[in-house]
């Protein structure tokens, strides 16, 4: 049997790998359609699956409904802020800032709720932050002041969503994921309708709902929800900060898939980041 701490590490790394694949699929879909429409399709498709599964459990705990809905709303707003930051040109820098802030917020919350994590784990958190930066940041990006602030807001939204999901999942994991998807689908769907009405879609309205785009978006949604499940289990089996930091290594998974399927070339800084990510996992797992 694997100890609870070992399960937390395993689940956290699994969430990271799955989220990396979700971002890869969603990124491909976003090249063919407006991001808000991709998110609406992704979250909507996963919501259907979750509702069918949650219906077998009966009604959700009353004290869980608010936390679950808030987690989805905060996360959806964070995702929209990230897309807005990425659209301003400093994509690598925005993604790196968002990923680091996303991990830092649960670490701070965990410190006040669960106490000191230990010197080795703290060192692992710092190494993980450096790894995320090296993997996600592309040298030569020109920072946009508004884009930087939006990236910070995106990180706060995504990090807040992780904290709220952890709290909601303590009652019932499946209902927490379902409630989270309800609010995120409503918000993303509303934004998608506004964009569609204004004609701000990529490639015209016919390409937005192309089967390939819809399938990629749907796959991204199912993968993202599965990643959320493993993150929630990791946060319940161990410390919140450990689960959040390990799960936040997902840019490594996205990069590996780009290397494998799109034949992209990794920069030296990204390879160094991968090495640091392995070192971070070793330190955090002690």
Q: Write out pLDDT tens, residues 179-230.
A: 999 999 999 889 888 877 776 554 444 444 578 888 998 998 999 999 999 9
Contact between 179 and 61 under an 8 Å Cβ cutoff? The reply is no
Instruction: Please report the pLDDT score of residue 240 as a whole number.
Output: 94
Whole-number Å distance between alpha carbons of 41 and 215: 9
Instruction: Please report the pLDDT score of residue 4 as a whole number.
Output: 62
Q: Look up the pTM and report it.
A: 0.89
* Class of residue 210 by CB neighbours under 10 A (exposed 0-12, middle 13-18, buried 19+): middle
Q: Where are the alpha helices (DSSP H) in 199-262?
A: 205-208, 211-237, 240-247, 250-261
Retrieve residue 71's tokens: 């987690």
- CA distances 156 to 79, 107, 165, 201, Å, are 10, 12, 14, 27
State what percent of residues in the chain have pLDDT above 70: 92
Dihedral of the alpha carbons of 195, 197, 200, 206, in degrees to the nearest 10: 110
> HEC string of 120-131?
HHHHHHHHHHHH
Retrieve residue 13's tokens: 């790394």
Higher pLDDT, 18 or 262: 18
98-106 mean pLDDT: 90
Q: Which residues contact 198 (CB under 8 A, 6 or more apart)?
A: none
Contact between 98 and 85 under an 8 Å Cβ cutoff? The reply is yes
Q: Write out pLDDT tens, residues 45-101.
A: 999 989 988 878 777 777 788 999 999 999 988 887 887 777 676 667 777 888 899
Where exactly are the structural domains of the chain? 4-285
């Amino acid at each position: 049997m694997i100890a609870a701490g070992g399960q937390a590490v395993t689940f956290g790394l699994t969430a990271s790998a799955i989220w990396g694949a979700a971002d890869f699929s969603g990124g491909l879909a976003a090249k063919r359609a407006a991001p808000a429409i991709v998110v609406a399709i992704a979250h909507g498709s996963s919501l259907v699956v979750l509702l069918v599964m949650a219906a077998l459990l009966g009604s959700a705990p009353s004290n869980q409904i608010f936390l679950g809905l808030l987690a989805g709303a905060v996360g959806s707003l964070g995702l929209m802020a990230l897309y807005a930051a990425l659209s301003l040109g400093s994509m690598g820098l925005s993604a790196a800032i968002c990923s680091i802030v996303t991990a830092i917020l649960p670490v701070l919350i965990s410190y006040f709720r669960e106490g000191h994590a230990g010197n080795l784990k703290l060192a692992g958190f710092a190494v993980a932050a450096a790894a995320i930066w090296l993997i996600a940041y592309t040298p030569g990006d020109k920072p946009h002041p508004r884009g930087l602030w939006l990236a910070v807001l995106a990180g706060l939204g995504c990090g807040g969503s992780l904290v709220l999901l952890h709290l909601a999942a303590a009652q019932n994991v499946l209902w927490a994921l379902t409630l989270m998807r309800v609010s995120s689908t409503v918000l993303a769907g509303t934004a998608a309708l506004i964009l569609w009405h204004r004609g701000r879609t990529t490639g015209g309205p016919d390409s937005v709902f192309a089967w390939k785009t819809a399938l990629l978006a749907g796959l991204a949604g199912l993968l993202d929800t599965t990643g959320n499940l493993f993150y929630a289990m990791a946060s319940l089996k161990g410390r919140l900060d450990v689960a959040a930091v390990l799960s936040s290594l997902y840019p490594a998974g996205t990069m590996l898939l780009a290397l494998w399927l799109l034949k992209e070339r990794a920069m030296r800084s990204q390879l160094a980041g991968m090495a640091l990510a392995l070192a971070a996992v070793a330190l955090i797992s002690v």
